[in-house]
Amino acid sequence: MKKKTGAFLWTGFAFYLLCLALLLFQRRLQPEQSFNLIPLRTIRGYLLILGRDDAAAASLLPYAATNFLGNILAFLPLGLFLPLLFPRQRRFWRFMLTAALCIAFVELLQLLSRRGALDVDDLLLNWPGAILGWLLWKLAQRREKR
Residue 1 pLDDT > 70: no
Instruction: State the Cα–Cα distance between residues 84 and 72, nearest whole angstrom.
Output: 20
Max CA distance (Å), the chain = 57
Residue 50, pLDDT above cutoff 60: yes
Single-letter residue type at 33 = Q
Q: Report pLDDT for 139.
A: 97
Task: Identify the band that residue 2 occupies on the pLDDT scale cut at 50, 70 and 90.
Answer: low
Predicted structure pTM score: 0.88
Q: Confidence class of residue 61 from pLDDT cuts 50, 70 and 90?
A: confident
- Which stretches within 26-119 are classed as H helix? 41-51, 55-73, 76-85, 92-113
Q: Indicate if the alpha-carbon torsion angle 66, 71, 72, 73 is positive or negative.
A: positive
Mean pLDDT for the stretch of residues 93-113: 94
Side-chain-facing half-sphere of 103: CA atoms under 13 Å: 28
Which residue, among 88, 84, 92, 90, has the nearest Cα to 127 in the 3D structure? 92
- pLDDT mean across residues, the chain: 90
pLDDT average, residue stretch 133-142: 96
Residues sharing a CB contact under 8 Å with residue 138, sequence separation 6 or more, in sequence order: 83
Chain CA centroid to CA 81, Å: 13
Q: In the predicted model, is pLDDT for residue 45 greater than 60?
A: yes
- State the average pLDDT over residues 2-19: 91
Q: Which domain holds residue 70?
A: 2-145
Number of domains comprising the chain: 1
What confidence tens digit (pLDDT) does each residue in 65-96 have?
888 899 999 999 999 999 999 999 999 999 99
Instruction: Phi first, then psi: give them for residue 106, nearest 5 degrees.
Output: -60, -45
Residue with the larger pLDDT of the pair 120 and 32: 120
The lowest-confidence range among 5-14, 30-39, 101-110 is 30-39
pLDDT at 137 over 50: yes
Query: Cβ(19)–Cβ(70) under 8 Å?
Result: no
